[in-house]
């Protein structure tokens, strides 16, 4: 962990997301060691070589193509492996095949003696985060899904374009499933410190709620549009994973919209879902229960119900 010993991140799955994430780690000088694991060992060796050749331009990082035994001393194991979302598929369509893949991966990681933190990025991320928690036997705070960090980033970016304000001064969250039932938290969205409705009335009087509704639709459906055009989304989620990794390794206690286990927060129980949470070297320190409007609470409950229904055939006892 940061400040105490050499940090090691293991990346499982060297497809588009995994390789983009590894590239982000080396460019941002986030970890001391990086282990790459994939079924395609030859490609993984090539990725390790390619990344190592960039070290003179980046940060000193020890990188190698490894195996599950390398997970024993890892601070983080980040799983990006699994079947990809195809054009026309929803993230929930991937559940059964990816749960089977994850059962084997998580067992292999835990058999190594791993005692760190899992980050899950594979879709459907909420379901697979829950599966990883179940299969690993680790405390819930040490299994974290990427949740709605990407959706929240898309939300802030599109609002920054609409208002012509630096994205770093746009504050707001997308919560719920990382998928079709996610929801924008308009009641807590701020431009600077100004509530969005008040800011709009003062500085964008010609703006309409319909404009904001269209922004959210573009956030929710962004993956479909990108997949139609280039076959996959990977750069932005890789940067989001790097941000999450940094928050953990550097013990930042940052608030990020990750997927974490609900134990009564927002009236929800026994599922992973995207909510604001404090993230540190211990994993998820606690969920932040922000005030939601009645409509937002209804939509969050609907999102949770959809996830629970999707999980039933696999996790019902």
What is the pTM assigned to this prediction?
A: 0.94
pLDDT at residue 259 in the model: 98
Closest CA to 120 of 96, 143, 103, 104: 143
- Using the predicted structure, report yes or no on whether residue 1 has a pLDDT greater than 50: no
pLDDT at residue 85 in the model: 65
Residue positions annotated with a catalytic role:
178
Length of the chain: 317
Residue 58's pLDDT band (cuts 50, 70, 90): confident
pLDDT at residue 45 in the model: 98
pLDDT at residue 91 in the model: 61
The CA R_g of the chain, rounded to the nearest whole Å, is 19
Q: Which pLDDT tens digit goes with each residue over 73-108?
A: 999 999 999 877 677 666 667 788 899 999 999 999
Percentage, residues of the chain above pLDDT 70: 96
How far apart, in whole angstroms, are the C-alpha atoms of residue 152 and residue 220?
10
The domains found in the chain, sorted by start residue, are: 8-145 (3.40.50.720), 149-312 (3.90.110.10)
Q: Which pLDDT tens digit goes with each residue over 151-175?
A: 999 999 999 999 999 999 999 999 9
- Using the predicted structure, report yes or no on whether residue 180 has a pLDDT greater than 50: yes
How far apart, in whole angstroms, are the C-alpha atoms of residue 196 and residue 298?
21
Query: And the tokens for 249?
Result: 């390794």
Residue 5's pLDDT band (cuts 50, 70, 90): confident
pLDDT top residue among 316 and 283: 283
Q: Report whether 182 contacts 274 (CB < 8 A).
A: yes
- Using the predicted structure, report yes or no on whether residue 302 has a pLDDT greater than 80: yes
How far apart, in whole angstroms, are the C-alpha atoms of residue 194 and residue 216?
19
DSSP letter (8 states) at residue 296: H
Q: Which pLDDT tens digit goes with each residue over 240-281?
A: 999 999 999 999 999 999 999 999 999 999 999 999 999 999
Q: Report whether 96 contacts 128 (CB < 8 A).
A: no
* Pairing mode, strands 76-79 and 8-12: parallel
- Using the predicted structure, report yes or no on whether residue 2 has a pLDDT greater than 50: no
pLDDT at residue 89 in the model: 66
Write out the DSSP string of 170-227.
Answer: EE--EEB-SSTT-EE-GGG-EETTEEHHHHHHHH-TT--HHHHHHHHHHHHTHHHHHH
How far apart, in whole angstroms, are the C-alpha atoms of residue 77 and residue 61?
17
Alpha helices in 14-89 (DSSP H): 16-28, 41-53
DSSP letter (8 states) at residue 64: E
- Using the predicted structure, report yes or no on whether residue 312 has a pLDDT greater than 90: no
């Amino acid at each position: 962990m940061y400040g105490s010993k050499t940090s090691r991140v293991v990346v499982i799955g060297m497809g588009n997301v995994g390789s983009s994430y590894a590239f982000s780690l080396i460019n941002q000088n986030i970890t001391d060691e990086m282990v790459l694991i994939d079924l395609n060992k030859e490609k993984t060796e090539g990725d390790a070589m390619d990344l190592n050749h960039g070290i003179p331009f980046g940060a000193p990082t020890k990188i190698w193509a490894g195996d599950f035994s390398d997970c024993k001393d890892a601070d983080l194991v980040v799983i990006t492996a699994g079947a990809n979302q195809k054009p026309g598929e929803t993230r929930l369509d991937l559940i059964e095949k990816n749960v089977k893949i994850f059962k084997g991966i998580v067992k292999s990681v835990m058999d190594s003696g791993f005692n760190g933190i899992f980050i899950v990025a594979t879709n459907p991320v909420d379901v697979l985060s829950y599966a990883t928690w179940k299969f690993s036997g680790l405390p819930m705070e040490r299994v974290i899904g990427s949740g709605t960090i990407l959706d929240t980033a898309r939300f802030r970016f599109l609002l920054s374009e609409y208002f012509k304000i630096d994205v770093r001064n746009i504050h707001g969250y997308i919560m719920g499933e990382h998928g079709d039932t996610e929801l924008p938290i308009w009641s807590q969205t701020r431009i600077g410190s100004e509530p969005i409705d008040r800011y709009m009335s003062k500085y964008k009087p010609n703006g309409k709620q319909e404009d904001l509704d269209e922004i959210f639709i573009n956030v929710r459906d962004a993956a479909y549009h990108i997949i139609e055009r280039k076959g996959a989304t990977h750069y932005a989620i890789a940067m989001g994973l790097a941000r999450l990794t940094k928050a953990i390794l550097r013990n930042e206690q940052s608030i990020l919209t990750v997927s974490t286990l609900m134990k009564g927060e927002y009236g929800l129980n026994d599922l992973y879902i995207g909510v604001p949470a404090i993230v540190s070297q211990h994993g998820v320190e606690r969920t932040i229960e922000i005030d939601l409007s009645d409509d937002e609470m209804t939509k969050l409950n609907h999102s949770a119900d959809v996830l629970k229904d999707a999980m039933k055939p696999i996790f019902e006892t």
